[in-house]
Amino acid sequence: MTQDDSPPAAAQPDRFAHAREAQAVALLEDYVEMIGDLMAELGEARVADIALRMGVAQPTATKAVARLKREGLAVSRPYRGVFLTDSGAELADRVRARHRTVVAFLVAVGVPEEVAELDAEGMEHHVSATTLRAFEAFLAEKG
C-alpha cells in the first residue's frame, strides 16, 4: 500500500457533526411516528398513551409534545388530545416506512426479529436516504 487507508483526520469532524445532527431529530421522529399510530388506532393521541408507549413519565411526554408544536409537527389544546399537522403526518409516514425497511433488512441478513426490532429503533435515525435505497435494493433482489 502506498497510501494511508484510514480516513483523514480532517474529515472526522464532519462525520461526528452528521451523527449529532441525526440524533437531534431522532426523538421528534419517534414521537411523530407513534402519535400517527395512536391516531390511526384510536382517532386521537392522548398524552397518557404517548407517555405509556414511549416508556417515559407523563410530564416528559407533555414537554416533548410542546417541542413538536414549536416545530410545527403537531397541534393540541390544553387538556385535549394531540394531533399531527400535515407536515407532521408526512414525516410520520416517512419515518414509519424507514423503520419497516430497516427491520426487514436486518431480518433479511440474519438478525432475529426481536433483536432487529430493538436495534432498528436506534439505528433507523442514522440511515440516510442513500443507505435506505441500498437496503431496499437488497430486499428487492433477495425476495
CA pseudo-torsion sign 137, 122, 73, 128: negative
Candidates 13-21, 61-69, 76-84, 87-95: pick the segment binding a copy of itself (CB under 8 A). 13-21
Contact of residue 12 among a copy of itself, DNA, Mn ion, none (CB under 5-8 Å per partner type): a copy of itself
- If binding means CB under 5 A, how many residues of this protein chain bind Mn ion? 3
Q: Residue 125: how many CB atoms within 10 A of its CB?
A: 21
Three cell numbers, residue 106:
436486518
Contact of residue 58 among Mn ion, a copy of itself, DNA, none (CB under 5-8 Å per partner type): DNA
Report d(CA 76, CA 128) in Å as an integer: 31
> Least separation, in Å, of the C-beta of 7 and a copy of itself?
6
DSSP letter assigned to residue 46: -
- If binding means CB under 8 A, how many residues of this protein chain bind a copy of itself? 44
Report d(CA 76, CA 18) in Å as an integer: 32
Q: Residue 55: how many CB atoms within 10 A of its CB?
A: 7
Residues written for the chain: 143
Tell me if 24 contacts a copy of itself by CB under 8 A.
Answer: no
Is residue 89 within 8 Å of 95, Cβ to Cβ? no
Q: Which residues of the shown chain bind DNA in the complex (CB under 7 A)?
A: 20, 24, 26-28, 46-48, 54-60, 62-65, 67, 76, 78-81
Q: Which residues of the shown chain bind a copy of itself in the complex (CB under 8 A)?
A: 7, 9, 11-19, 22-23, 26, 30, 34, 52-56, 106, 109-112, 115-119, 121-123, 125-128, 130-131, 134-135, 137-138
Q: Which residues of the shown chain bind Mn ion in the complex (CB under 5 A)?
A: 30, 99, 121
